[in-house]
Amino acid sequence: MIPAKLRDALALGLALSCGQALAAEVTIACGSVGSDVEICRKMTDEWAARSGHTVRIFVTPNSSTDQLALYRQQFGAGSGEVDVLMVDVVWPGIVKQHLVDLAPHAREARKEHFPSIIANNTVDGKLLALPWFTDAGVLYYRGDLLKKYNARVPATWNELTATARLIQDGERAAGNRDMHGFVFQGKAYEGLTCNALEWVASFGGGTIVEPDGRISINNAQAAKALDLAASWPGNIAPKNVVSFAEEEARGVFQNGNAVFMRNWSYAWVLAQRADSKVKGRIGMTVLPAGDDAGKGGRGAATLGGWNLAVSRYSKNQAAAIDLVLYLTGKDAQKKRALLVGSLPTHPALYKDADILKSAPYYGQLLDVFNAALVRPSTVTGDKYNAVSSAFWNAAQSALGARGNGTDAVRKLEKDITRVRRGAAW
């Protein structure tokens, strides 16, 4: 007969030695844009029910830049408050020391994702995050208004500028004083880097820093792109577009107050919901090309997307890894795609009949997504955020008409060279 106290102590010891069998509370930070929190709650509840663990949702700021600042603070303090976090596609080089290597746990799973995203997330041989969804910049338009004004979907940025002006003026004269031609992400943060990179690259002005490390931004085509964008605020775009992130742009468009919007694919499902004023009146297409004369330059879409990672400071690593494998797996990605229209990272899902039925644009825009522009995060590594912030600040001063495009790109070249410190990255 074992005395009760000893029996309990033995049982506890056994439970602790198989630690992971104990139910854990896993904290996940899974975004706050659009219906991120709602969907995250739903998907993590499913995992909790299967695994016996519980999940706490940590709501983050919605800007990628603010999220990065928050995690850097937490990592700096060695805080294990967040076990699972979303990692923007441009962050692996920046946060590499703070994440668990998922390679040993994802030997099979990693083969199911787009190899380019797995490569993006692998730094110094470590797989720092598993792909959750991918994305690219797209142009939304009001099909009803284009029809009313007998205008077509713009093929170039100059055409977009002219059409936006025509419809904005017409609608304002007809009584809608709040109408704007074009909304986008003009706030000083990573979203402006994505927008401005699209303007520059579509004019044939390169990608700020090229994959071989060359700082290319100081060129005439880039200056021309920034000059055109500088003509938008207060003309076809609201003056305060310089404080817009994704959700502010979506708010204006979804309220029926913009002809065109640049945003990510998440806005489609929300703009088509019953509570949207533009439901059934919109289209989604490729962003315009740069130069009218066709001198280099074509429509360019910045590659976006998010991955899931486990913090090195997490005290629940085994459960956290299991949650990441579950959420990034094919079944969960299919559900997410059906619910919110996000773009899976499993190539197989692009042929899935249910998905194609619910979001016909997948097929139509697949070329855009495949050819999406990569921000220079791999080549600049842990200096990417400094490069990007130099770029978004330059784009903001161009938008505020403080200086002109030529001066902006000349100064930017100097700023980025200073960030590089030395001959190589």
Residues near ligand GLC (CB under 6 A) are 64, 88-90, 135, 190-191, 194, 246, 264, 304-306
- Looking at the Cβ atoms of 35 and 54, the one nearer to ligand GLC is 35
Strands in 258-263's sheet, in edge-to-edge order, are: 180-183, 258-263, 138-142, 282-285
Taking CB atoms, the residue at the shortest distance from ligand GLC is 304
C-beta of 388: minimal distance to ligand GLC in Å? 9
Do residues 405 and 227 make contact, with C-beta atoms less than 8 angstroms apart?
yes
Residue 95 backbone phi and psi in degrees, to 5? -110, 15
- Looking at the Cβ atoms of 137 and 405, the one nearer to ligand GLC is 137
Tell me the residue ranges of DSSP E strands in 69-142: 84-88, 122-123, 126-127, 130-136, 138-142
- Looking at the Cβ atoms of 61 and 143, the one nearer to ligand GLC is 61
- Looking at the Cβ atoms of 197 and 258, the one nearer to ligand GLC is 197
- Looking at the Cβ atoms of 43 and 223, the one nearer to ligand GLC is 43
C-beta of 271: minimal distance to ligand GLC in Å? 16
- Looking at the Cβ atoms of 89 and 379, the one nearer to ligand GLC is 89
C-beta of 18: minimal distance to ligand GLC in Å? 39
Instruction: Specify the residue for token string 């999940």.
Output: 55
- Looking at the Cβ atoms of 146 and 197, the one nearer to ligand GLC is 197
- Looking at residue 55, the DSSP 8-state letter turns out to be E
C-beta of 66: minimal distance to ligand GLC in Å? 10
- Looking at the Cβ atoms of 244 and 313, the one nearer to ligand GLC is 244
C-beta of 302: minimal distance to ligand GLC in Å? 8
Do residues 22 and 35 make contact, with C-beta atoms less than 8 angstroms apart?
no
Do residues 368 and 343 make contact, with C-beta atoms less than 8 angstroms apart?
no
Q: What share of the chain is helix, strand, coil (3-state, %, to 5)?
A: 50, 15, 35
Q: Name the CA dihedral angle for 308, 311, 316, 318, rounded to a multiple of 10 degrees.
A: 60
> Cα separation of 389 and 380, whole Å?
13
How far are the Cα atoms of 53, 317, 378, 417 from residue 14, in angstroms, in the given order?
Answer: 19, 19, 45, 58
C-beta of 33: minimal distance to ligand GLC in Å? 6
Residue 57 — left, alpha, or beta (φ > 0 → left; ψ -120 to 50 → alpha)? Answer: beta
Residue type, 392: W
C-beta of 320: minimal distance to ligand GLC in Å? 22
SS3 140: strand
C-beta of 269: minimal distance to ligand GLC in Å? 15
- Looking at the Cβ atoms of 89 and 349, the one nearer to ligand GLC is 89
Q: Estimate to the nearest angstrom the gap between the alpha carbon of 98 and the chain centroid.
A: 21
C-beta of 173: minimal distance to ligand GLC in Å? 34
